Structure 1
Amino acid sequence: MKKIAFALLVSTVVLFAETKAPEPAKLSKHLQVRAPEWRAEMLASYPNGNPQEIVFHGPDMDGKEMPQKRIRFFDNGRPYDEVDLSVVEEGSEAYELHKSTIVPHGLSVQ
């Protein structure tokens, strides 16, 4: 009787103790559209005055201003690449890879 009760207990625990692997972070399949409330910050410019790199800052879910998008340009003003940005903690894998707390996130268009 004890063996049957133990077998039922073990099978019940195994049946309901299904563990799932953690899901990887979901990356977006499209770039964010620039919002009108985002603030543009020119980080670099060419000698002719055209922007070389611009970072757009906008509010996150808590209303705190965060970098949202980076666009780099050719010297003639045409876009070179565009990427959405994310902020990571120092010491994370992404920080070690990019040596910055502001890292590319998701799609990049060249």
Structure 2
Amino acid sequence: IPCSMGSLSAVACGSSDTLIARAADVCLKEKRRLIVVPRETPLSLVQIRNMAALAETGAIILPACPAFYSRPQSLDDLVNVLVGRVLDLLGVENDIYRRWKAEA
């Protein structure tokens, strides 16, 4: 975390010329969980297509976008939401952020 658009592009195109790209390629090949957290905005159409290609191969795309529904009070609160969501996707129990609950 985070994933640069260069790394995202390399993985989407199957280029494994760096250790990060190779590790991601192996995760996809072996059907292991791969969570990609792109950091850049705005997104170009090429970047969106690269994310779509990764999603089609089984990667989970989790943009590093702040979640304001938890009413963060600090920058740490914003970071904790992102980290907590990654941990949730990895199946790691945590209580570092307040999850959204539908109003009854």
TM-score range, shorter chain: under 0.3
More strand per residue: 1
TM-score normalized by the length of structure 1:
0.23
